[in-house]
Structure 1
Amino acid sequence: MASSNGYDDVPMLPVSCTSSSSRTRPFTSRSRSVSLSNTSSTIDVFENSSTVVLGYTDPLGTQRQPQLVQMGDPISSTRNLELVHNARDDDAKGWARRFVTSVDKYLPKIMEPDSKEVGGWTIFFAFSCLLSIFVDPLFFFPIQVSESGKCIRIDEKMARVLVALRSLTDFLYFVNTLLQCRLAYTDPKSTVVGSGQLVKGSVEIAKRYYRGNFLLDLVIVIPLPQILILWIIPHVLVIYGANTIKNLLCTAVVVQCIPKLHRLFHLLARKRTTGFIFESAWASFFINLFTYILAGHIVGSCWYLFGLQRVNRCLRETCGDHMESKCHGVCKELIDCGLRLKEKLIDCERRNTTVTQAVLNWNVTAAACFQENGFPYGIYWKAVNLTHDSNLPKKYIYSLFWGFQQISTLAGNLVPTDFVWEVLFTMAIIGLGLFLFALLIGNMQNFLQSLGRRNMEMTLRRRDVNNWMSHRQFPDDIRTRVKNAERLNWSSTRGVNEELLFENMSDDLQRDIRRHLFAFLKKVRIFSKMDEPILDAIRERLKHKTYLNGSMVLHSGDLVKKMVIIVRGQMESTREDGSCTRLSKRDVYGEELLTWYERSSLNPDGTRIRMPSKGLLSNRDVKCVTNVEAFSLSVADLDDVMSLFPNLEISKES
């Protein structure tokens, strides 16, 4: 066979063949190999070995894998180790690939940010954010003061209920974290022209999320209050006391509440690629109102917590002033209601009989901490009565009322003491109240104004029309007709300019909307036999018209400038011979314009001619019997339709 190229002249595997038809050839020597890395060493192995390995090479130089033969040569052992190592790597890669595939089956597909599912989840997640922020301050209320024992304790039953609610909101945050890894995003580099290109690669989406809000969401999802309530508090309460646990719990709630507020503000500001979250005005109203109540809830909860801290401060100062014994400090430890501390007190009483009397004196004196003049509580005095009340609804509702009242009045009725943190808390309430008044109350005002915006526009237009008529000195009868025409036109359109709404819509959407609006067109006698493309062209050119009762729409002998289709009301058509015809819904006057245009616009050879400038003269008077709402088609628009469809014919049946 002739060689097709120069490379075929050089044999890749020179052998001596005894028969051209034989498919097996004895291996003698090899100068090039594509499967063995060390050719010379491998050849020596084959030459010194009694085992013969047969191989075949096709014209492209690829070789079939020979059967592996166990040999004692060091090179052979080395290659066996490499094969084992590669097999292990393949197994590891295969296991990882199988794991990713199995996990990917349970994950949702890549979703577009403007899809219906993402929009629904965004609204649901916004409410869950509000619920989560609402639940976190409730962890302050299980901390109570035992008035009889003069100590601070934690209501575990109440705390476990809050843990269940908090776990539910954490689960929703966790689901949202998973969805963020499957949510496509718009490439910022592609937003130069148009709305941008969506990135749908799972790896790119995950990298972007990890570089963005992943750490923030991770801090939110960590169940810190649950860990404290269920595991840490039961073991360290008797060692460090309730005051330390209280500080840890408050710190955990505050640390996680700040990222949640950050997330919530992003949703309310509508800065995400999901577009508008709350399109309804009522939805925005309730969100703003709930946010205002949420601010009162946070302020009231903090007020209860700070009041609890002032009670704790009073008890500790009372203990320091009246505990004088070698067991000094036992009463400070008793403030935390620890079981081991009670045992310590009993042990002290056994070793020192004066301890009992000192503790009794301290209990009597500590009762002053629950009296109005016993300690300078300032703005926290009413919270003192709530700290030793185990009725959660009572404590919460009053705290919510206090917070809502102070935000609404900008803390106008508060008189703080000289305690620094109390003054700062009052200043924070004033600043928060001003911020909410400017933001939320302003939004609510805009909402209330938006409800009557159309009425306001109508009022302003009516005032402009009145000023215009006064300036032009219209007579009273024309003034009345103008006012009635404005009122009729406004009632029929509701102040909406439909042509402006159509501008940003696609052609197919405009066509479908017009088919819906002008569905009556097929029921009109003269248009009933026309094809759909012709009707679409007519629908694009129809103009909305309103006529007052008694208006003369057309006089006999005038040019017929338009064809009018009645959709509401009645007209009366009177011919020159005195015959009268009542026109109502779906009736047309000026239909002779279409028929005459068809007959006069074609030459005998089939070419189209322009309509004469004199036009068509009317032979009847048309007058409105009632207020009429109609759609008109002008001569110029009709000329456009006829130029688009030169073979248009009006059937005799129509």
Structure 2
Amino acid sequence: MSYRSPSQDNDKRPLCGNESKDTEGQCRPRKRKNVAESVSKTKLGQLFLRWYDEILVFFRTLAVSLDPLFFYVPVIKEDKKCIGLNKVLWNTAVVSRSVIDVVFLVHFVVKFMIRPHKREKGPRLLRSIMFKVLVILPIPQVVMPIIFSEMRRTKSSNITILNSVILLQYGPRVYHIYQQWKKLIRKKESKDKASQWFKASWNLSLYILAGHVLGAFWYFFSTQRLAACWHKACEIHGVEISFNCDHSFRNLSFLDDFCPIDTPNPSTFDFGIFLEARQSGSLESTNYLPKAFYCFWWGMRNLSSFGSNLQTSSYIWENIFALGISIFGLLLFLYFIGNLQIFMEWRTTKQQKWRKRQYNLKLWMSNHGFDRTARKEIIDYIGKSYKADEDVNVETIIPHLPTKLRRAVNHHFCFKLLKEVSFITACPFEDILIE
């Protein structure tokens, strides 16, 4: 018979290392503290996590609304026949875009730290990462200076490719808004009045945002078409010149003859839908707000009319732009009509439920012989205390009625029964007994 010391027994027990022991001495893995749990312990963290999706939708919408600032940077100087840059607007656009990109980058990191259980796997994860990287790449900060340089060169042949690069990122950024919005709708799947107003305000903001973006593109493409006209005039006259405003005075009167403002000649160069931008003086204006509001009005006007009033030239990219306005306006219209139909169906269902509830309530009170005053008070109370689509059991709401109304209902139900008892009939304190 051998004796084993406690120390020897302890040596035979399993070493848990980073794991903890349960009541039976067995090792069990320690629970790792989730970042989300540590954040949610504070009241501020709980509030942040609750409104996280709303904040994300706001920043994504803000990002798309601030990107058009880059398109208003070029300024046409007709007196010098050159293309200048609004440096204040450029700095504002770069700083705002950089801040938004940092916010998206933080979100990209936080999503994989706070919500590890929601991470995609395999090819889906790779597509998700590539999509998010494309959204936060500083493409306008890099590509826009190249476009401005191309516009002021003697010959410009890469403008279309560079424009496509800008649009390549703009599409995913808009889709990001739609994606997060659908997620927010599923999260807030509700039929109350606040939810419906939230959806209505979003629909209006989406329409306004579309008009703002289209107006900015229209201004930007107008400057490019004027630069293309100048390039064509120089090519015909055999002149090689840069349209940089830093150059000294030059005699470029032939540009006025080839690209006139008041009496355009479509046979030499047709500006199409971009002629209005030049004739309105928007291309020469250095004041951002009047120029932006005019372009915004142009975008809203043609978006609401599906581009039916646009008189285009034979330039293919101009027709593609006009066609995009028409299709996008039609899609927005169908989207709004669909939401309006859903809202009307919701209102109709709500009214039907309210009428049915009133009918059942009146039938119940009529069967129990309530007088007109009590009926009105009960209906008013239920209408104020319960939602229109909320089910109400009339037999269980009596304890929740106001004191005076509850006493009247109890008196109505119980007094007839109590009066059948001889002792109660002789008692002068009927109301006290009923209560």
Instruction: Give the TM-score normalised by the residue count of structure 2.
Output: 0.69
Give me the CA root mean square deviation: 4.9
Sequence identity, in percent?
19
The alpha carbon displacement at 1:169 in A equals 0.6
| Alpha-carbon contact 1:145-1:153 (below 8 Å) kept | yes
Q: Paired residue for 2:227? A: 312
Q: Paired residue for 1:58? A: none
What is the alpha-carbon distance in structure 1 between the residues aligned to residue 329 and residue 188 of structure 2? 27
Distance 1:139 1:546, change over 3 A: farther
Distance 1:129 1:252, change over 3 A: same
Please tell me whether residue 362 in structure 1 is matched to residue 270 in structure 2. no
Higher helix share: 2
State the AA in 2 paired with 1:266. Answer: Q
* CA offset digits 1:347-401 (Å, max 9, x no partner): xxxxxxxxx8xx5551441451x22534443332221231222221111111111
Q: Paired residue for 1:136? A: 67
| Alpha-carbon contact 2:154-2:231 (below 8 Å) kept | no
Instruction: Give the TM-score normalised by the residue count of structure 1.
Output: 0.48
Please tell me whether residue 371 in structure 1 is matched to residue 267 in structure 2. no
Please tell me whether residue 382 in structure 1 is matched to residue 276 in structure 2. yes
Q: Paired residue for 1:493? A: 386
Q: Paired residue for 1:119? A: 50
Task: Select which of 164, 168, 177 maps to 1:255.
Answer: 168
State the AA in 2 paired with 1:416. Answer: T
Task: Select which of 314, 317, 325 maps to 1:429.
Answer: 325
What is the alpha-carbon distance in structure 2 between the residues aligned to residue 305 and residue 559 of structure 1? 91
Q: Paired residue for 1:579? A: 428
The alpha carbon displacement at 1:559 in A equals 8.2
Higher strand share: 1
The alpha carbon displacement at 1:133 in A equals 0.9
| Alpha-carbon contact 1:135-1:165 (below 8 Å) kept | yes
| Alpha-carbon contact 1:174-1:221 (below 8 Å) kept | yes
Distance 1:245 1:121, change over 3 A: farther
* CA offset digits 1:574-607 (Å, max 9, x no partner): 9412624445xxxx73x8xxxxxxxxxxxxxxxx
What is the alpha-carbon distance in structure 1 between the residues aligned to residue 75 and residue 340 of structure 2? 38
| Alpha-carbon contact 2:53-2:184 (below 8 Å) kept | no
State the AA in 2 paired with 1:493. Answer: Y
| Alpha-carbon contact 1:134-1:294 (below 8 Å) kept | yes
Please tell me whether residue 287 in structure 1 is matched to residue 202 in structure 2. yes
Distance 1:488 1:386, change over 3 A: closer
The alpha carbon displacement at 1:216 in A equals 1.1
Distance 1:238 1:498, change over 3 A: closer
Distance 1:258 1:456, change over 3 A: same
Distance 1:447 1:138, change over 3 A: farther
| Alpha-carbon contact 2:285-2:291 (below 8 Å) kept | yes
What is the alpha-carbon distance in structure 2 between the residues aligned to residue 293 and residue 559 of structure 1? 72
Q: Which 5+ residue runs of structure 2 have no aligned equivalent? A: 3-32, 41-45
| Alpha-carbon contact 2:83-2:245 (below 8 Å) kept | no
Distance 1:311 1:209, change over 3 A: same
What SS does the corresponding residue of 1:423 show, helix, strand or coil? helix
What SS does the corresponding residue of 2:75 show, helix, strand or coil? strand
| Alpha-carbon contact 1:241-1:338 (below 8 Å) kept | no
| Alpha-carbon contact 2:418-2:425 (below 8 Å) kept | no
Q: Paired residue for 2:183? A: 270
The alpha carbon displacement at 1:110 in A equals 5.1
Distance 1:579 1:222, change over 3 A: same
| Alpha-carbon contact 2:150-2:159 (below 8 Å) kept | no
What is the alpha-carbon distance in structure 2 between the residues aligned to residue 308 and residue 488 of structure 1? 64
Please tell me whether residue 555 in structure 1 is matched to residue 416 in structure 2. yes
| Larger Cα-atom Rg | 1
Q: Paired residue for 2:112? A: 181
- Which structure carries more relative contact order (alpha carbon 8 Å, separation 6+)? 2
What is the alpha-carbon distance in structure 2 between the residues aligned to residue 408 and residue 139 of structure 1? 25
Report the number of matched residues. Answer: 384
What SS does the corresponding residue of 1:389 show, helix, strand or coil? coil
- 5 Å matches for 1:167-178? 167-178=98-109
What SS does the corresponding residue of 2:76 show, helix, strand or coil? strand
Distance 1:118 1:212, change over 3 A: farther
State the AA in 1 paired with 2:226. Answer: V
| Alpha-carbon contact 2:84-2:244 (below 8 Å) kept | yes
* CA offset digits 1:290-332 (Å, max 9, x no partner): 11111111211122223223323333343344x1xxxx232xx
State the AA in 2 paired with 1:216. Answer: F
| Alpha-carbon contact 1:181-1:209 (below 8 Å) kept | no
State the AA in 1 paired with 2:320. Answer: L
| Alpha-carbon contact 1:142-1:156 (below 8 Å) kept | yes
| Alpha-carbon contact 1:144-1:390 (below 8 Å) kept | yes
Task: Select which of 129, 136, 156 maps to 1:214.
Answer: 129
Q: Paired residue for 1:226? A: 141
Task: Select which of 208, 216, 239 maps to 1:329.
Answer: 239
What is the alpha-carbon distance in structure 1 between the residues aligned to residue 358 and residue 399 of structure 2? 30
| Alpha-carbon contact 1:183-1:205 (below 8 Å) kept | no
What is the alpha-carbon distance in structure 2 between the residues aligned to residue 135 and residue 156 of structure 1? 16
Please tell me whether residue 157 in structure 1 is matched to residue 77 in structure 2. no
Task: Select which of 290, 299, 304 maps to 1:394.
Answer: 290
What SS does the corresponding residue of 1:309 show, helix, strand or coil? helix
| Alpha-carbon contact 1:144-1:154 (below 8 Å) kept | yes
| Alpha-carbon contact 2:155-2:231 (below 8 Å) kept | no
The alpha carbon displacement at 1:519 in A equals 10
What is the alpha-carbon distance in structure 2 between the residues aligned to residue 395 and residue 580 of structure 1? 82
What is the alpha-carbon distance in structure 2 between the residues aligned to residue 372 and residue 445 of structure 1? 48
What is the alpha-carbon distance in structure 2 between the residues aligned to residue 239 and residue 380 of structure 1? 19
Distance 1:390 1:465, change over 3 A: same
What is the alpha-carbon distance in structure 2 between the residues aligned to residue 123 and residue 307 of structure 1? 36
| Alpha-carbon contact 1:225-1:253 (below 8 Å) kept | yes
| Alpha-carbon contact 1:123-1:277 (below 8 Å) kept | no
Q: Paired residue for 2:334? A: 438
| Alpha-carbon contact 2:230-2:255 (below 8 Å) kept | no
